[in-house]
Amino acid sequence: MTRLVEKFLRIFARRGRSIILAYDHGIEHGPTDFMDNPDAADPEHIIKLAREAGFDGVVFQRGIAEKYYDGSVPLIVKLNGKTNLYNGEPISVANCTVEEAVSLGASAVGYTIYPGSGYEWRIFEEFARIKREAVKFDVPLIVWSYPRGGKVTDETAPEIVAYAARVALELGADSMKIKYTGDPKTFSWAVRVAGKVPVLMSGGPKTKTEEEFLRQVEGVLEAGAIGIAVGRNVWQRRDALKFARVLSEMVYGGKKVVEVLGEAK
Ligand SMILES: O=P(O)(O)OC[C@H]1O[C@](O)(COP(=O)(O)O)[C@@H](O)[C@@H]1O
């Protein structure tokens, strides 16, 4: 049954590709993530950015959603989150139910799993409960699949990213977000083992140059990903809207890096 995959695609990939603006960093990394571009500390700035860039959605924690969400861009409520002040084997427990997310206006929900963590058993148990709730409320469930802890030494190693993709498929993701392996060939294996579940690349820390990130995006699209779920590489840039529009040209318009960079000059 791929009904919820199709629902995800209808809402978050209506042009056949997807750009989702991730903004759950306040809990995951803390306000230091906003210091390169302090405007990014304001959720209203983020919604305006996503709307004006024509992106497919935004990712908010429940508190941001309930205080700021205005319905102008499709919403994904991230159901769990942890801080980086936490020491120990990774675990990120839910702070919001699917029902509450729907009441906040969510068209999909997100949940991070850390395959490999010493708490993997607890994470997978909670995930299963959320999966059942998502099916009951007919809400697509997007899995942030980030192997971490335990035996994981390199989160972007091709075999780890492919494992992340396969775990998301087998646990019941309707879409997934995984880290980039660094090249289209190895990333295409992760896309292949993801099967029927659409793959989004997780943006990662802001790259030194815009071109570096654009080449990553070009690579994941070549590898068969449906798009990107990106935060820092957009809203940490001073000219965030200009860069967001370049990203849209590539992801929705099918342009290559050499074309969009040539036009930007
Ligand atoms: O746990 P990590 O690797 O720090 O990444 C967590 C962050 O990365 C994301 O998955 C993607 O955001 P970025 O594009 O900024 O990397 C966010 O949703 C999340 O806050």
Question: What digits encode the pLDDT tens for the residues 57-102?
Answer: 999 999 999 999 999 999 999 999 999 999 999 999 999 999 999 9
Determine the pLDDT at residue 5: 98
Look up the ipTM and state it.
0.94
**Number of residues that make up the chain:** 265
Which residue among the candidates 69, 114, 119, 177 is catalytic per the annotation?
177
Condensed to tens digits (0 to 9), the pLDDT of residues 162-214 reads 999 999 999 999 999 999 999 999 999 999 999 999 999 999 999 999 999 99
Q: Per-residue pLDDT for 265 more than 70?
A: no
Report which ligand 1 atom has the smallest distance to the Cα of 206: 15
Is 177 in the active site? Answer: yes
Report which ligand 1 atom has the smallest distance to the Cα of 144: 10
**Can you say how many angstroms the Cα of residue 23 is from the centroid of all Cα atoms in its chain?**
9
33: Cβ below 6 Å to ligand 1? no
Ramachandran category for residue 30: left, alpha or beta (phi over 0 → left; psi -120 to 50 → alpha): left
Query: Of the candidates 234, 190, 255, 211, which has an alpha carbon nearest to the alpha carbon of residue 55?
Result: 234
Report which ligand 1 atom has the smallest distance to the Cα of 203: 14
Q: Per-residue pLDDT for 249 more than 70?
A: yes
Q: Mean of the per-residue pLDDT values for the chain?
A: 97
28: Cβ below 6 Å to ligand 1? yes
Whole-Å CA distances, 227 to 37, 109, 257: 24, 17, 15
The backbone torsions φ and ψ at residue 142, rounded to the nearest 5 degrees and listed phi first, read -100, 125
Q: Per-residue pLDDT for 260 more than 80?
A: yes
176: Cβ below 6 Å to ligand 1? no
Q: Count of CB atoms within 10 A of residue 96's CB?
A: 23
Report which ligand 1 atom has the smallest distance to the Cα of 236: 15
What's the CA-to-centroid distance between 204 and ligand 1, angstroms? 6
What's the CA-to-centroid distance between 42 and ligand 1, angstroms? 18
Is 146 in the active site? Answer: yes
Q: Is the pTM of this model over 0.90?
A: yes
Residue pair 68/263 in contact by the 8 Å Cβ criterion? no
The set of residues, in sequence order, having a beta carbon less than 8 Å from that of 89 and lying 6+ positions away, is: 117, 118, 119, 149, 150
Query: Of the candidates 32, 62, 18, 27, which has an alpha carbon nearest to the alpha carbon of residue 236?
Result: 32
Q: Which CATH class is domain 3-264?
A: alpha beta
Which residue among the candidates 69, 119, 146, 163 is catalytic per the annotation?
146
Determine the pLDDT at residue 264: 59
